[in-house]
Amino acid sequence: MDWTVYSLYAFVFLRSKTYVEHVRNPVCGGICTTIGFLDDHVQVEDARSLKFSLALCVCVQLLKIMKISAILVPKMGLTPSVLKKALPDMIFFSFVFAVSLFAFSNMLFIQLGTGMKEFSTQFTSLITLGRALFGDFDMTEVISNSPNCASSLHLALLGRSLRPPGPTQRLASPPSPSTN
Amino acid sequence: MNSANVFDGDLNKFFTIRRPADIWQWGNAVLWPGLLGNLGPENSQQQDEGGRFQSWQPDMAGTTNLTRPGSPFYNNDLLPDGEGYLGTGGGGTPPTVAEVVDRMNQFDWTDGLRILQVRAAPTSAESCGSATIGGKCYPEMGRDGYNDDTAPFGFNWTHKEGNAPLSYPFLWHSAVEMGSAPFISSSAPSSHREFSGDGYASFVIPFFSDEYLPDQRGKPCVSGRTASGPCVRDFTPHRIMRAKALTRVPRYFCVRLSWDAEHVHQLCDPNDPNNNNRTTGIVRGATVEFWNDMRRAQYVDPATRMLEVRVPLASNPAGVRSTARLMFEFTSTGGVLPSYDTMTRVAKDSSLDDLEFLVLIGLAFCIYFGAMEIFEIISIGISRYAAAAPLLQAPSTPSITLPLLQRPALPMPEAPPRYRLFTATSRICGT
C-alpha cells in the first residue's frame, strides 16, 4: 500500500509539473495566430489527469488510516478483517453477480435498446442496471463533470459496497463480551 | 446556467433538445443571453433580422448598416434596471464599457468561443449497406461507409435564385491546424463515442480594445507576416487580456467573428456620445445575428453528426478557469443527443506557485519514507520484506499486514545497528 501511494504520487508530481508548464507557456496553434482563439485542451487534459492521480493518491493514503487505527485499537480492524476473511467468497460472489448483471443487461439491451436511450448500448445498459441496483445516482452529472475518471471511481465505490453479508462477518468478528 | 435555463414555452432545457430547430432557439434564448450578462433580450430577437451586420458579405466589402429603413437598430444589451420581468422589460440603461468589463470579470469568455461541426460524407447506399431513397446515404458515425466530410458547404440565403453557392462557405480544418484535441469524446451516457477533432470551426471572440478598430471583413492581418492584399487589422496589439497590472485602459467593447476560420468580421462598439458614452449594443447584435446567420446558411443539416460549442471561461476575481463543452450528437435517424462536459482548474499565479511548492514537499516525504522502506529491505531481505510488506497485500485489506509486522510468522533477523532507527521509524511512519 505504501508503494502504491509512492507510485501514485510520482504520477501526481510529474503531472503537476507538466500542468504548470503548459499553463504558464500555452502553445498557440495556427488558428490561434490568425483568428485569435487559443484552444486550451492540453491544459484541460493535464488538469483532468492531475486531479485523477491526486484523487486516487489521497483516497489510498486516507484508507491507510484504517491500518493505523487497527494498530492503535485492534478492535478497529474489524472491517478489514471481515473483508480478508470474506475475500474468497467475495471473489466468487462478484463473478456470479457480474455474470447475472451482464445477462440481465443483455436482455434489457435487446428488449429495450431500440426504444430507450438508457439501454441503447451494452455499456449503457450495464450502467443503467447498476444505477437501478445500487441507488439512483445521477451518473449523467458525474460523467458530465469528469467523463473518463470520476465515473470509474464511482463504480469502484459501488463495487466496494458489494459485500457478502452475515455468515462471513460472524466468522471474522471477535466474540462479544456478552457471549463469553 | 446554459444547461439549466429554459428556452421555450414548453420549459425545454439543454438536456431536452431533440431537434436541430431547438438548438438555434436554445442559442437565442439561453446561450447568448447567458454569456452576455445572463440577461434576456428586451425585445426577443429584434436585432436578428439578417443582413444588418453582414458578416457573410459576398464581396467582403460590406458595411454594418444600423439604420436600415424600416428596422432601426434596437439596443438589446441593457442592464437589468428596466421595467417588467427581471428588469429587462423596457427602459433599461445600456452599460458603459467599464460595466461590461466588470461583468466580464465575473464571467470572462474573452478567450472566445468555438463552434465545431463534424459531418458525414455522403456515400452510396451500397457502401452504407442499406437501401435508401435516391441512392445517397449519410451513415451513422463509425458505421459501414462512414467517412468524415471535408468538402465546403453552406446555403446562400441571400441569393436563393439558381441555388448560388455560399460565397464564403464553411471550411474544414484539421485538429492540428486548429491546435485542438485530435478526438472529442461524448459525455452522454448513452453514447460515449469519440468524434474526430477535425471539422468545420466557427469562432466568436469578444474582446476589449484600447483603440477603436474599424468595422472590417476579410482575411485577418497577422503581426510579422506580410499580407498579399487588404486584410482585417490585427487585434493583438490592442486586445486587452487578463493581466495583473493595468497597462492599457479598455475603452471599446469589440468582437471578432469567423464562420470559416479563414475570414473574420471585426467590429467595435463606438459608444454613444449622446448617452454618456454608453455602449450601443452592436456587439451583442452582431453576435446574435452571426448565430442566426449560421442557421440561415443551414449549418446543421442531415450530414451533421456532431456539433460542439467550446467556451474557455474564467472567473477573474476568484482566479478559477473552466472549460465548458456543450455537445450535440446527431444520429442518422435525425435525433439530437445533447451532453456537456466541464473542467475547472485554478489560474492564479499564487495557486500555481503553491502547487509547485507543495508537490515538492510531498515528493520529499515520499523519498524519505521510500528510502526507509529500502533500508528495511536491505536489513531484513527482500523475501521477508515481501512477506510483511503491505504492497503485496490487497489494498482493501490493509490490516492483513499488520499482524505480520507486529508478530511476524517468520523470525525476523536483528537489523544491523545502522538500520535499526530507520526500521523502527519506517514501521510507524510507513503505515
Dist. CA B340–CA B21, nearest whole Å: 19
CB contact under 8 A, B192 and A145: no
* Neighbour-count burial of B231, counting CB atoms closer than 10 A to its CB (0-12 exposed, 13-18 middle, 19+ buried): middle
Residues B313-366 have pLDDT tens digits of 999 998 899 999 999 999 888 889 999 988 888 888 888 999 999 999 999 999
The pLDDT value given to residue A177 = 44
Contacts of B352 in chain A (CB under 8 A): 20, 23-24
pLDDT in tens, chain B (431 residues): 566 777 777 778 888 898 999 999 999 888 998 898 867 665 554 567 777 788 877 667 777 877 776 677 778 888 888 887 777 777 788 999 999 999 999 999 999 999 999 999 999 999 988 899 999 999 998 888 999 999 999 988 888 777 788 888 999 999 998 888 999 988 887 777 889 999 999 999 999 999 999 999 999 998 777 777 788 999 999 999 988 888 889 999 999 999 999 999 999 999 999 989 999 989 998 999 999 999 999 999 999 999 999 999 999 998 899 999 999 999 888 889 999 988 888 888 888 999 999 999 999 999 998 898 888 888 888 887 777 655 444 443 333 333 333 333 333 444 444 444 444 444 434 43
The pLDDT value given to residue B166 = 85
Own/partner long-range contacts of B423-426 (Cβ < 8 Å, ≥24 apart): B423/B372, B423/B375, B423/B376, B423/B379, B423/B380, B425/B372, B426/B369, B426/B372, B426/B373, B426/B375, B426/B376
Dist. CA B268–CA B254, nearest whole Å: 4
CB contact under 8 A, A38 and B391: no
Contacts of A34 in chain B (CB under 8 A): 220, 222, 262
Residues A93-150 have pLDDT tens digits of 999 999 999 999 998 888 888 777 778 888 888 888 888 887 666 666 666 666 555 5
* Partners of B264 in the β-ladder: B218
CB contact under 8 A, A37 and B112: yes
Dist. CA B113–CA A39, nearest whole Å: 9
CB contact under 8 A, B373 and A13: no
Distance to chain A for B98, nearest Cα, Å: 23
Instruction: Answer whether B20 touches A (CB < 8 Å).
Output: no
Instruction: Answer whether B352 touches A (CB < 8 Å).
Output: yes
CB contact under 8 A, A9 and B363: yes
Q: Contact, A83 vs A66, CB < 8 A? A: no
Dihedral angle computed from the Cα positions of residues B30, B32, B36 and B37, in that order, rounded to the nearest 10 degrees: 0
Q: Contact, B404 vs B388, CB < 8 A? A: yes
The pLDDT value given to residue B110 = 94
The pLDDT value given to residue B2 = 64
Note the ipTM here. Answer: 0.78
The pLDDT value given to residue B394 = 40
Comparing alpha-carbon positions, the chain A residue that sits nearest to B397 is A80
The domain ranges of chain B are 17-347, 351-429
The pLDDT value given to residue A147 = 58
The pLDDT value given to residue A151 = 56
Nearest to B397 among A6, A39, A87 (CB): A87
Would you give the DSSP letter of residue B166?
Answer: E
* Residue-by-residue DSSP string for A62-111: HHHHHHHHHHH-GGGGHHHHHHHHTHHHHHHHHHHHHHHHHHHHHHHHHH
Distance to chain A for B161, nearest Cα, Å: 32
Residues A41-74 have pLDDT tens digits of 999 999 989 998 999 999 988 888 888 888 888 8
The pLDDT value given to residue A94 = 92
CB contact under 8 A, B181 and A24: no
Distance to chain B for A153, nearest Cα, Å: 14
CB contact under 8 A, B189 and A41: no
* Neighbour-count burial of A102, counting CB atoms closer than 10 A to its CB (0-12 exposed, 13-18 middle, 19+ buried): middle
Instruction: Answer whether B1 touches A (CB < 8 Å).
Output: no
The domain ranges of chain A are 1-72, 73-174
Confidence of residue A10 (pLDDT cuts 50, 70, 90): very high
Instruction: Answer whether B224 touches A (CB < 8 Å).
Output: no
Confidence of residue A170 (pLDDT cuts 50, 70, 90): very low
Residues B27-73 have pLDDT tens digits of 988 899 889 886 766 555 456 777 778 887 766 777 787 777 667 77
Contacts of B237 in chain A (CB under 8 A): none
Cα–Cα nearest to B412, from B390, B430, B386, B393? B386
CB contact under 8 A, B203 and A81: no
Q: Which residue has the higher pLDDT, B422 or A34?
A: A34
Mean pLDDT score of chain B, rounded to an integer?
82
Dist. CA B112–CA B264, nearest whole Å: 13
Mean pLDDT of A12-34: 90
Between positions 361 and 390 of B, the ones with CB within 8 A of A are 362-363, 366, 369-370, 373, 389-390
Dist. CA A7–CA A57, nearest whole Å: 9
Cα–Cα nearest to A27, from A40, A46, A45, A14? A40
Between positions 32 and 91 of B, the ones with CB within 8 A of A are none
